[in-house]
């Protein structure tokens, strides 16, 4: 039996948060339906941040309340602080994710807190969530490099990971927020954390800014990581991190995993249909690096059928 790798779709949140125009809630739900039809079962559905800071997430409460209940499908909400946690819980969230940038400057730019202040806020929310039976993940953002401070020392990532686990995070997401990591760096980061805390408690989040998203995913995979974030069509980027272009495309990740003998439970043809929905609602031309290959195969089959 093929080994399972779990894919968490972040297109609805990370993928849409920097889009220049508000995407209607109904359109977000249409994209969600297409992804569920493709076999995706885990979603970072939205974030409960200030709508002034991230206008695309202004409908977070309404969206979360309208998420379809489907067997085996899980929804997670990103939160910046305790107020965001309370809003998420009021909307029905039972799984939340916090983001802690690995550097002082990015925390200041992102949430207007020092790194020390951000650590304490995350700890408080994690302790509260654990007491209230809410599932938690803590992301260490800009784990490879910061857009303001440059390359991040691995020791800083390891220290923050230790603190978040100690505070009660069920798992940690190590995020290459601006897509500046390389396979050697990724292998060291994930290998060290996995060895100390267990690979099953670690997930990976990559951007494809420098065309290394898949390569870095493979490096993490070799260190035992079996949980990955990705975004349909390569949508995404961080509004507070200059240079953070699109996320690793879900169709690229799933195609690589399946070609390599892993099981994801996700249908590639279904993902291609979801890409067309994403293109319609965003008015963008989308698709991962494998899109050109798919298109060539479509042409070959069409020619053969004539």
Per-residue model confidence as pLDDT tens digits over 185-206: 999 999 999 999 999 999 999 9
* Residue 140 near residue 173 (C-beta atoms within 8 A): yes
Which of 122, 144, 146, 238 is flagged as catalytic?
238
Distance CA 30, CA 255 (A): 23
The β-bridge relationship of strands 145-146 and 202-206 is unpaired
Q: Is 238 an active-site residue?
A: yes
Q: Which of 105, 164, 102, 110 is nearest to 137 (CA)?
A: 164
Query: For residue 128, which phi and psi values (nearest 5 degrees)?
Result: -65, -45
C-alpha to C-alpha distance for 3 and 293, rounded to whole angstroms: 25
Ranges of beta strands (E only) in the chain are: 6-9, 42-47, 74-79, 95-101, 135-141, 145-146, 150-151, 171-176, 202-206, 227-230
pLDDT beyond 90 at 48: yes
Q: How confident is the model at residue 110 (pLDDT cuts 50, 70, 90)?
A: confident
d(C-alpha 167, C-alpha 226), whole Å: 23
Name the DSSP class of 15.
I
> Which of the four pLDDT bands, split at 50, 70 and 90, describes residue 1?
confident
First to last CA, the chain: 38
Angstrom CA distances, 239 to 17, 39, 81, 128, 246, stand at 7, 29, 18, 28, 11
Task: List domains and CATH numbers for the chain.
Answer: 6-305 (3.20.20.70)
Length of the chain, in residues = 306
pLDDT tens for residues 139-177? 999 999 999 999 999 999 999 999 999 999 999 999 999
pLDDT at 239: 58
Say if residue 244's pLDDT is above 90: no
């Amino acid at each position: 039996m093929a080994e399972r790798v779990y894919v968490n779709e972040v297109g609805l949140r990370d993928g849409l948060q920097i889009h220049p125009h508000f995407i209607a809630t109904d359109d977000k739900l249409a994209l969600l339906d297409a992804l569920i039809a493709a076999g995706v079962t885990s979603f970072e559905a939205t974030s409960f941040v200030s709508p002034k800071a991230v206008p695309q997430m202004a409908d977070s409460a309404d969206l979360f309340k309208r998420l379809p209940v489907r067997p085996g499908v899980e929804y997670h909400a990103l939160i910046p602080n305790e107020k965001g946690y309370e809003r998420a819980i009021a909307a029905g969230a039972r799984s939340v994710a916090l983001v802690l940038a690995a550097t002082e400057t990015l925390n200041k730019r992102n949430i207007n807190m020092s790194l020390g202040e951000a650590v304490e806020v995350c700890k408080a929310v994690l302790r509260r969530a654990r007491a209230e039976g809410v599932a938690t993940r803590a992301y260490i953002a800009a784990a490879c490099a910061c857009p303001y401070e440059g390359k991040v020392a691995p020791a800083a990532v390891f220290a923050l990971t230790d603190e978040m686990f100690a505070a009660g995070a069920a798992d940690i997401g190590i995020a290459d927020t601006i897509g500046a990591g390389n396979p050697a760096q990724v292998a060291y980061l994930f290998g060290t954390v996995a060895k100390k805390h267990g690979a099953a408690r670690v997930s990976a989040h990559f951007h494809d800014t420098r065309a290394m998203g898949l390569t870095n995913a493979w490096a993490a995979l070799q260190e035992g990581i079996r949980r990955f974030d990705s975004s349909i069509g390569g949508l995404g980027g961080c509004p507070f991190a200059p240079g953070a272009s699109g996320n690793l495309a879900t169709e690229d990740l799933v195609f690589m995993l399946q070609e390599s003998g892993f099981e994801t439970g996700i249908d590639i043809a279904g993902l291609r249909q979801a890409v067309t929905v994403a293109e319609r609602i965003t008015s963008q031309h989308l698709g991962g690096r494998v899109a050109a290959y798919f298109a060539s195969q479509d042409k070959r089959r069409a020619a053969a059928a004539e």
